[in-house]
């Protein structure tokens, strides 16, 4: 084999190596870009992070505490006073029945931010919000029943 043939083969071999190296580098860059896109996508669109969920849970828990305090204050205050009246004290005995019915409703089960896993925060937040709504609605209906009894006093 002539020296020139060896040079041509060497140049051809170098070209193939460069082509292979270019393909490998392109593949590595593509993988890095895909991984970066996935990480950015999950970060931006993957939902709130745990710190955000903990903060939201604390906020809705405080809202629940306020709603419970208002309800319990009414139950132990004006509603307790109104429920002490007898049928002889009011013009319409049905108002006492309605008040007693409102007082006999069962309060919702405890919902709190004490969760076993970070993935359970959203469920806890939803439960706390449901309970807050329950207390707010029943405070209104209980207040209406108390007002009805008070308006019916002789």
Per-residue pLDDT tens for 13-52?
Answer: 566 677 788 888 888 887 888 877 777 766 666 567 888 9
Highest-confidence range of 11-20, 46-55, 104-113, by mean pLDDT? Answer: 104-113
Q: Are residues 103 and 36 in the same domain?
A: no
What is the pLDDT at residue 55? Answer: 93
User: Which DSSP string corresponds to 11-68?
Assistant: HHHHHHHHHHHHHHHHHHHHHHHHHHHHHHHHHHHS---HHHHHHHHHHHHHHHHHHH
Higher pLDDT, 60 or 23: 60
- Confirm whether 8 is domain-assigned: no
Q: Are residues 39 and 76 in the same domain?
A: no
What's the pTM? 0.69
Lowest mean pLDDT among 6-10, 21-25, 136-140: 6-10
What is the pLDDT at residue 117? Answer: 86
- Confirm whether 2 is domain-assigned: no
* Domain extent at residue 18: 14-46
- pLDDT of 2 > 60? The answer is no
- pLDDT of 102 > 60? The answer is yes
As a whole-number percent, the residues of the chain with pLDDT over 90 amount to 60
């Amino acid at each position: 084999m002539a020296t020139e043939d060896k040079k041509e083969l060497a140049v051809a071999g170098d070209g193939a190596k460069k082509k292979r190296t270019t393909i490998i580098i392109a593949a590595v860059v593509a993988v890095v870009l895909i991984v970066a896109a996935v990480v950015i996508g999950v970060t931006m669109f993957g939902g709130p992070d745990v710190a955000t969920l903990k903060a939201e849970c604390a906020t809705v828990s405080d809202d629940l505490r306020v709603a419970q305090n208002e309800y319990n204050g009414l139950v132990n205050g004006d509603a307790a006073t109104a429920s002490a009246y007898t049928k002889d004290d009011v013009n319409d005995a049905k108002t006492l029945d309605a008040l007693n019915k409102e007082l006999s409703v069962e309060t919702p089960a405890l919902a709190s931010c004490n969760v076993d896993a970070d993935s359970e925060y959203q469920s806890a937040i939803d439960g706390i919000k449901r309970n807050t709504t329950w207390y707010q609605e029943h405070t209104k209906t209980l207040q209406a029943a108390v007002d009805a009894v008070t308006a019916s006093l002789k």
